[in-house]
Structure 1
Amino acid sequence: MVTRTLLRRHLAALVVLSLLSGTALLVSYDVVHRSPERVRTSTALAAQQVAAARIALETAHRNAEAAVGKPSSRVTGVGEGFRTQISAADQNLSRAADKQLAGSYGRGELDTVDGLLTVYADAVNQAAGMYGEKPEDMAPGARDELSTMRELRMTEAGSLMHRRVTGMLPRLAKLQERQLEQVRRELEFSTAQRVGWALAEAFLILTGLVLLSATAVLRRRCGRLFNGWLLCGLVLTLVLAVVPVRWTSTTQDRLDTVSTRLTSLEHAATQRNITRTAAEVRHAADTAHGRAGPLLGFGACGVALLVLPATGLLRRLRTDYGKARP
């Protein structure tokens, strides 16, 4: 009866610990390994597109100032470079609106910047076209008036671009700051994740100890020196305790790289830097361990960890416990 009670207690403990360890392990693995796909399809794109929009706007304004120049210069148009950069900024703003990470605040800021961009482009086009330098035979007074209007339009354009807090560039800079804060929160290995992995490992260690204890009981009381069912359970416990942790560590290293590279865009954003960052982010996301396949594999191992030792103990309960020594 003592042996029968011991085996039943070991069986109950194994069932409970297998369920707890499997659940904690799968949830913890899934939380980390769903991030690379999110990085690939949303997070990185949002940060990169806002940075690209800022660069395009800064470049467009430099082109506009060069094209319009001083009041005495002869202006024939704002130039193809300006139009190209404005178009690029508009496209990046549209894409960022689909991917942005800052919720209603982000959507509102992007809509505002998009509206300001239309007003800005109109002001620059007027400065370079309607109020551009006219033929030399124009009356001096009219030419001075045009120069004054051109300066006013460029001043208005500069204010729309750079005005503190409400200008396009300050708005995008603030939005980018918030987005990168969200990126860091999403990609960091949080305290909750640490607790989840600690619980998963603790439950697996306890499972291994119970399996060893059950093996000792069978050896001492039932004369079973070797039990293949429990040995398979021990192997599975070791696999589940080591492999997911190693893969998660590798993936988290990749996510830390992504976070660092995206954060670098906040203060050192150039088109070359954005292009290089995009390539590095894609590489990091692509080389992270997968999610769906390993989850199925670890789930199968968890089920086997529950079934195999339980089967071994049930067999002994049915056939050998009556042989136990009191």
Structure 2
Amino acid sequence: MPMPSPVRWVRAFRTRRSRRSRTRRLLERHLVVMVVTALVSVTALLVSYREVQNAAGEMRTRGAPAVQNVAATQLALLRAHEEAQKSVDQKIDTVVGAGARYENQLSSASQGVYRLSDVQLDGERGRGVLKTVNGVLASYSSSITPGAVKYVGDEDDLMQREKFGEAQRSLLRPGTGVVPRLDVLQGHQMRRVDRVSSLGTLQQTGWVAAELGLLVLALTGISALWVLRSRCGRSHDPWLLAALLVTVALAVVPLWVTVGTQERLDTARHQLVGIEQQAHKHKDLALSQRIIIEESTDLRGRLAAQRWQSWTYYGALGGGALIVLLPAIGIVRRLNVDYWRTG
């Protein structure tokens, strides 16, 4: 059998060396792409996920209570005025304790305004509105209280009507009354609720970037496995397979949790719209108050903090670290064993 010529041997050696060099560079490119893509996609994923969860937290702790308190305060004020008027119309204003219902409602309204100072969503402008509302509410109380419990005799009928007129103007006068001022505050708050509970363009872009990045990462991982199998004779690499599984989990689980959270935010927004509208139905104020209490209780249950949502975030953080480390370990190990060490 003829021996191969030195020329052929040199050519074969050079071809093999060139092929090994191309394979090494190909694996190094896969490594760079996977690490960079993992860092970018995980960062976008964590930021986008946290934004949605922060929106749910703001809705739970401030948005929903603020809207509910304004609606409840408006109805309590209207109910107080209605009860005071009923005591006069039904000729029971001279009975001992006749003003208890009106006083209870007025006290509820005052407490509602006090609670609003902690949760209102309109910033400094909202604090200014509440400060003015407190002043007008004091003026309302100083008018309605004498009309309901002091000027109750027939000889005081004219003074009683005057006091009730003053109280009604303080309550309902367009632009300056308590109820119209609270309407303005509520309008600003509802716009804030819309922004908080909606998935904005920036957030949508973040999720698209995260999911596309994870898709590129998965495809690059599959490509790296194919290179190791076809060019390096490695049937599989456990590090890359594990990274591929973690990538799929990251692409699915946080997005699934976010979709559920967003659905609850959408439902909460619709319920708050209903509560805000209920405050303007004046045919049966007592019924409107009961409906708002029931809706508010249901809404608190819907927005209650879910511990597993935080676990999902920290799980995604850990998964993000894995999809950076696992491909690096797997590919660097192969490069070191098959190429770098052998020079």
Q: TM-score by structure 1 length?
A: 0.91
Provide the rounded CA distance (Å) in 2 between the counterparts of 1:263 and 1:12.
50
- 3-state DSSP class of the match of 1:34? helix
- Residue 168 of structure 2: which of 158, 175, 187 is its match? 158
Counterpart check, 1:215 vs 2:225: yes
The aligned amino acid for 1:172 is: L
- Residue 311 of structure 2: which of 285, 293, 309 is its match? 293
The aligned amino acid for 1:187 is: S
- 3-state DSSP class of the match of 2:304? helix
Change (3 A) 1:210 1:67: same
- Residue 131 of structure 1: which of 128, 140, 151 is its match? 151
Q: Which consecutive residues of structure 1, in runs of 5 or more, have no partner in the other structure?
A: 135-142
> How far did 1:202 drift?
0.5
Provide the rounded CA distance (Å) in 2 between the counterparts of 1:274 and 1:128.
27
Partner of residue 168, structure 1: 178
The aligned amino acid for 1:271 is: Q
Identity %: 39
8 Å Cα contact 1:250-1:288 kept in structure 2: no
Change (3 A) 1:289 1:25: farther
The aligned amino acid for 2:310 is: A
8 Å Cα contact 2:88-2:148 kept in structure 1: yes
> How far did 1:273 drift?
2.0
- Residue 111 of structure 1: which of 131, 149, 162 is its match? 131
Partner of residue 323, structure 2: 305
Change (3 A) 1:43 1:286: same
Deviates more, 1:280-289 or 1:211-220: 280-289
Counterpart check, 1:6 vs 2:26: yes
The aligned amino acid for 1:26 is: L
Provide the rounded CA distance (Å) in 1 between the counterparts of 2:197 and 2:126.
20
Q: CA RMSD in A?
A: 1.9
Partner of residue 76, structure 1: 94
> How far did 1:309 drift?
1.1
- Residue 98 of structure 1: which of 95, 118, 130 is its match? 118
- 3-state DSSP class of the match of 1:266? helix
Partner of residue 137, structure 1: none
8 Å Cα contact 1:250-1:289 kept in structure 2: no
- Residue 192 of structure 2: which of 182, 199, 216 is its match? 182
> How far did 1:286 drift?
2.6
- Residue 64 of structure 2: which of 22, 41, 44 is its match? 44
8 Å Cα contact 2:254-2:313 kept in structure 1: no
- Residue 249 of structure 1: which of 246, 259, 262 is its match? 259
Q: Could you list the per-position Cα deviations for residues 55-74 of structure 1 after superposition, in whole angstroms to 9, with x for gaps in the alignment?
A: 1001001011112339xx57
Change (3 A) 1:322 1:155: closer
Q: TM-score by structure 2 length?
A: 0.86
8 Å Cα contact 1:251-1:288 kept in structure 2: no
> How far did 1:85 drift?
0.5
Equivalent pairs, count: 312
Counterpart check, 1:20 vs 2:26: no
- Residue 317 of structure 1: which of 324, 335, 341 is its match? 335
The aligned amino acid for 2:210 is: A
Change (3 A) 1:88 1:294: same
Counterpart check, 1:57 vs 2:77: yes
8 Å Cα contact 1:222-1:321 kept in structure 2: no
Provide the rounded CA distance (Å) in 2 between the counterparts of 1:24 and 1:268.
40
Partner of residue 272, structure 1: 290
8 Å Cα contact 1:29-1:248 kept in structure 2: yes
Partner of residue 17, structure 2: none
Partner of residue 237, structure 2: 227
- Residue 66 of structure 1: which of 86, 102, 126 is its match? 86
> How far did 1:2 drift?
0.9
The aligned amino acid for 1:34 is: N
